Structure 1
Amino acid sequence: MTWQPEMDELRRRQEMTKRMGGADKVKRQHDGGRLTVRERIDRLVDMDSFREIGSIAGKAEYDGRNDLVDLMPANAVMGRGKIDGRHVAVTGDDFTVRGGSADATIKEKDIFIERYANQYRVPLIRMIEGSGGGGSVKTIETTGRANVPGVKGWEWVVRNMGEVPTVGLGLGSVAGLGAARLAATHYSVMVKEISAMFVAGPPVVNRLSPKQYDKQELGGWEIQLRAGAIDEAVDSEDEAFAAARRFLSYLPSSVHEAPPRGPVTDDPARREDSLFEAIPRDIRKVYRIRPIIEKIVDKGSFFEMGKLYGRSVVTGFARIDGWPVAVMASDPMFYGGGWTADTCQKVARFVDMAETFHLPAVYFCDCPGFLIGLEAEKSGVIRQGVRAMSAMFQTTIPWCTFIIRNAFGVAGAAHQNGARLNWRYAWPSGRWGSLPLEGGIEAAYRADIAAADDPKAKMGEIENRLNKLRSPFRSAETFWIEEIIDPRDTRKILCEFVELAAPVRGSGPSSHWMRP
């Protein structure tokens, strides 16, 4: 006698759960331009690598003889798989089963996958569609009581922010706890025109608001990307999967390892002549920072995050001679590179991520200071700026900074971790001080200028005198700036830096790991 009857029953139940919410619900998913959760998993992970856990978990229907009539699966599919040959934990909401709501959720499945990622030190990818929270208003009737709000297992979500790379893919309407799960990641992606993310969706908001909103107006990708609630928006689900895979390629499987070196595909001695004239001599002229980054890092390796948020600083990963690094760069196209409150928040979050995963930091600095004025003060820019600077001073990762133009004021001082030895270089275009001369001369020399027979000539005389004194060579004489370099040598110097940094990047949990 074999166990074939039991195996046949197992297969029968698995076939029931693979139907998901039923053919009509699957068709509705496809008609909406969205893949099903099982199709998503197949496209995300390496072929034939997915091993499902909890394959027959759900709500069963039995007849009077206790024989199974039907089995509606839980609305989450999860398990382990591989991406580029590396183990990962994967979970996806099944919107075909009660729209991804808590009514069809088995919370133990969500907790299991979070614990698996944490304890086995593997990256976690959440594919989110639905609410996944405390249920709908109807839940009060079905349960006969109102639940006291609580998020069972959230402690694992928090721990994973400090332990393993966590990716969130918003692949449809995401609300409530679903939105929280998407935000509680190191990297989050939405699909344009298909995804929407909100604390509460249009039916709730429109009931309370005189203005009526549709999904995109309330929580579309542009709103959430500009608000910094997500990191990227792409045109298709396949692009979202590709973005997740690329993000993970720069990081270790967990904080207990250092980020691995990738393939060496670029000449470490490569020099780009265009860098010699990349910064205009006229300080009133701006320039594009992204082409400068691309010319210095390994070709094609720059992976930007948060492009539409805190736009006066560009952040992303790149490789230098194969080694992954965290790159920050001032963008003078926005506020001249001055730090706004949202820029400060972006910098603090990015620095914390670099510290969490032991990525050396590279900063191309052109910062004239904090944004000034009434609106800037209303935004609390100074507190956010202090928070960003504190994040830098709390890091233990190696830093290499290039002052390519401005470094003024408190924000300009936040260009390295001043508590540790850093590598710092200036391009010949570097300018620094407590305040820029422009505007500062009038304040500091008001009496002299007013008393002069020709105030304009006096202004020019003072400006010329101070410009000579603030020459970067004068600072280098006293070792206030360690080294001035030819911009064309930047890549070579960075390749030397990453080689020096590799043995001292560290491993293990950080004292100041990243929070959402």
Structure 2
Amino acid sequence: MSWQKEVDEINRRREIAKELGGAEAVKRQHDAGRLTVRERIDMLVDEGSFRELGALTGKATYDKDHNLVDVTPANAVIGRGTIDGRKVSIDGDDWTIRGGSSEATVSEKWIYAENYAEAMRMPLIRLVESAGGSVKILDQNAATKLPAYPTWNLARMMGTIPIVGLALGPCAGLGAIKAATAHYSVMVKGTSQVFAGGPPVVERGMGVKVDKEDLGGSKIHTRESGVMGNEARSEAEAFEMARRFLSYLPSSVYEMPPVIESDDPKERREEELIEIIPRDKRKVYKSRKILDMVFDRGSVFELTKGYGRSVVTCFARLGGRPVGVITTDPMQYGGGMTKASAAKMEAFIDLCDTFHLPIVHMVDQPGTIVGPEAERSGAVKGSVRVCMAIEQSQVPWCAIITRRCYGLAGSTFGRVQGINLHYAWPSGRWGSIPVDGGAEAAFKKELDALDPEARAARLAEIEGHFFHMESPFLTAEKFRIPDIIDPRDTRALLNDWLDDSWKLIADQLGPKGRTFRM
């Protein structure tokens, strides 16, 4: 006697689950320019690698003889797959059934996928498209519930496995939390929105009429609020971003970062580096171009590009080994540290420290930005928090001072305690305050007593005196900087440093004493 009848029942239910919310709901999803959750999974993972869990979960109806009539699948699709041959856990929302509502699903199902990722020490990818809570669930439960999911170990997970949140449609309430509470988050331009409450909630509660894009579109959250990280032009691009992000990280904090083969010579010298920093202090340059020349060709992958734009945070490789890279963009606030760029830098330091990526800081920092707006935003506190994050980090750190390093924000060039390894290019200048502006403030009383012509001459005389003292060679003579280097030797020097540093990471495997800070 066989169990074929029951196996047939399994297969029938699986086929029903594949239909999602039905043909009309799938058509509406496609008409809105969005893929279904199953199409997304197929596009994201290696072909044929997805192994679904919980396909039979849902609300079933039976006839009087207890035979299955139909099943409405749970609006979460979960399982395991591989990306470039490496296992990942997937938690996907199905918008075609009750808008992916977190209240209309079986929460144990998606929480299981997340807890499985942590237990099995593999990355977690969330495909988020959820309308959030719904009052309709009250009829079913006949009671309200306190907000929380006691079995969801979110804070601990953030300190143990890489988590990617992809906002692929409207993400409200819990959906917003799942999309944003991740080490790397992406929104799709024009088709995804993230908000605590959608337009109807805002209009009802605040009397403000606003559309989805103006309330929580990618322009808002990847440029202004910093709630989400990167913006993708399509779902396919979002998946590619997720794959590339994970390629730099270990599957969990218990493993070393992945190393790939590289045919880029460690000793490669780029002649352009010797002249890329302008002698004229008023001129800017393209800092990202320096990264492309120093690190393995094609390996620079920028995170959170649109937010806190005066700071640039990237993954890159040296000799095939992944590192975190920080620099500034002198075309944005002159590269000065804003509250937003400080928050961005702090989170990136935590990310690299959590997953054992050594950090290279290419320093051109004019200082914390000044002015009424900066003070109201709390830019000073932001700079202090970066200093604290650096001192609390444990991964190897190397700083290359390429141009400026001034003031409170300048003190974020590297870890002050311990070895504090840092080098300077001959173009480097530093101090508690730049001579430009600083001399005028220090000698204000004397200068204000002079007529304009005499004032300008005296100011030039004072600045000329102090400009000489800014020479990096005077600092090197006192061994207050370990070395001044030919910019063209930067790549070889960093590879040599990483040879020494890489073996230290093995002693740091495992979670940190503090979890990842958002």
The TM-score normalised by the length of structure 2 is 0.96
**SS of equivalent residue, structure 2 residue 413:** coil
- Equivalent pairs counted in the alignment come to 513
1:116 maps to 116
**SS of equivalent residue, structure 1 residue 291:** helix
**SS of equivalent residue, structure 2 residue 409:** helix
**Pair 1:410 & 2:412 matched:** no
CA distance in structure 2 between the partners assigned to 1:452 and 1:176 by the alignment: 63
1:204 to 201, 204, 214: 201
**Pair 1:166 & 2:163 matched:** yes
1:378 maps to 376
CA distance in structure 2 between the partners assigned to 1:457 and 1:202 by the alignment: 61
**Pair 1:213 & 2:210 matched:** yes
How far is 1:392 from its partner? 0.3
How far is 1:127 from its partner? 0.3
CA distance in structure 1 between the partners assigned to 2:86 and 2:467 by the alignment: 55
Greater Cα offset, 504-513 or 407-416: 504-513
Question: Alignment RMSD, CA only?
Answer: 1.4
**SS of equivalent residue, structure 1 residue 70:** strand
How far is 1:424 from its partner? 0.7
CA distance in structure 1 between the partners assigned to 2:434 and 2:103 by the alignment: 60
CA distance in structure 1 between the partners assigned to 2:448 and 2:201 by the alignment: 62
Contact 1:352 1:512 in 2 (8 A): no
1:509 maps to 511
Greater Cα offset, 502-511 or 247-256: 502-511
Contact 1:398 1:422 in 2 (8 A): no
The TM-score normalised by the length of structure 1 is 0.97
2:299 to 277, 298, 301: 301
**SS of equivalent residue, structure 2 residue 307:** coil
Contact 2:221 2:227 in 1 (8 A): yes
CA distance in structure 1 between the partners assigned to 2:421 and 2:148 by the alignment: 47
Contact 1:79 1:113 in 2 (8 A): yes
How far is 1:235 from its partner? 1.1
**Pair 1:284 & 2:277 matched:** no
**Pair 1:336 & 2:338 matched:** no
How far is 1:498 from its partner? 1.6
**Pair 1:184 & 2:181 matched:** yes
**Pair 1:157 & 2:154 matched:** yes
1:310 to 308, 311, 336: 308
CA distance in structure 2 between the partners assigned to 1:451 and 1:196 by the alignment: 58
Equivalent position amino acid for 1:40 in 2:
R
Contact 1:353 1:513 in 2 (8 A): no
Q: Percent identity?
A: 51
Equivalent position amino acid for 1:508 in 2:
G
CA distance in structure 2 between the partners assigned to 1:145 and 1:512 by the alignment: 37
2:86 maps to 86
Structure 1 residue runs without a partner (length 5+): none
CA distance in structure 2 between the partners assigned to 1:273 and 1:3 by the alignment: 73
Contact 2:102 2:130 in 1 (8 A): no
Counting only pairs closer than 5 Å after superposition, residues 35-184 of structure 1 correspond to structure 2 as 35-131=35-131, 133=132, 135-154=133-152, 156-184=153-181
Structure 2 residue runs without a partner (length 5+): none
Contact 2:102 2:174 in 1 (8 A): no
Contact 2:158 2:516 in 1 (8 A): yes
CA distance in structure 2 between the partners assigned to 1:197 and 1:448 by the alignment: 56
CA distance in structure 2 between the partners assigned to 1:513 and 1:16 by the alignment: 41
1:265–1:213 Cα change, 3 Å: farther
CA distance in structure 2 between the partners assigned to 1:103 and 1:374 by the alignment: 44
Equivalent position amino acid for 1:402 in 2:
I
CA distance in structure 2 between the partners assigned to 1:150 and 1:260 by the alignment: 35
CA distance in structure 2 between the partners assigned to 1:60 and 1:111 by the alignment: 21
**SS of equivalent residue, structure 1 residue 104:** coil
Q: Deviations over 1:293-328 (max 9, x none)?
A: 111111111100111111110001001111100000
**SS of equivalent residue, structure 1 residue 91:** strand
CA distance in structure 2 between the partners assigned to 1:447 and 1:98 by the alignment: 71
How far is 1:432 from its partner? 0.4
CA distance in structure 1 between the partners assigned to 2:54 and 2:205 by the alignment: 40
How far is 1:354 from its partner? 0.6
CA distance in structure 2 between the partners assigned to 1:81 and 1:396 by the alignment: 32
CA distance in structure 1 between the partners assigned to 2:129 and 2:476 by the alignment: 56
Contact 1:118 1:160 in 2 (8 A): yes
How far is 1:452 from its partner? 6.7
How far is 1:447 from its partner? 4.3
Q: Deviations over 1:52-91 (max 9, x none)?
A: 1111011111122221111111101111111111111111
**SS of equivalent residue, structure 1 residue 414:** helix
1:265 maps to 263
CA distance in structure 2 between the partners assigned to 1:75 and 1:447 by the alignment: 71
Q: Deviations over 1:407-437 (max 9, x none)?
A: 1111101110111213211111101001111
CA distance in structure 2 between the partners assigned to 1:465 and 1:328 by the alignment: 33
1:245 to 243, 246, 252: 243
